[in-house]
Amino acid sequence: MLDETFKHVKQKTVGLKQTQRALEKGLVRRVYIAKDAETHVLRPILEWCHNHHVEHIEVPTMKELGRACGIEVGTAVAAVLEH
């Protein structure tokens, strides 16, 4: 299901810095967060999502999230952007 989500999305971010920038600009529709990522990495993203009412979905592993995004390494955070 996650692979299908990212397969059809043209506008997305992969990684913490790209996602943070997109959040600050108000471009994010939905954030995907890997459950096995470091808590201190995820905390600011989760707080932003909570404070700005952005949907966030947990994914079991960084590896699974990275694979869904089409990269060979894991990622802690990815996002689907507004059209």
DSSP string, 29-63: EEEEEETTS-HHHHHHHHHHHHHHT-EEEEES-HH
The rounded mean pLDDT for the chain is 91
Phi/psi of residue 67, nearest 5 degrees: -60, -40
Q: Which CATH number goes with the domain that contains 61?
A: 3.30.1330.30
pLDDT digits (tens, 9 = 90+) for 19-51: 999 999 999 999 999 999 999 989 999 999 999
How would you label 48-61 residue by residue, b for 16+ Cβ within 10 Å and e otherwise?
bbeeeebebeebee
Q: Does residue 57 surpass a pLDDT of 70?
A: yes
pLDDT-based confidence at residue 2 (cuts at 50, 70, 90): confident
Cα 79 to chain centroid, rounded: 4
Count of CB atoms situated within 10 Å of the CB of 11: 13
3-state secondary structure of 29: strand
pLDDT at 4: 73
Per the structure, the count of domains in the chain is 1
Enclosing domain of residue 43 = 2-81
- Bridge-based pairing of strands 77-81 and 28-34 is antiparallel
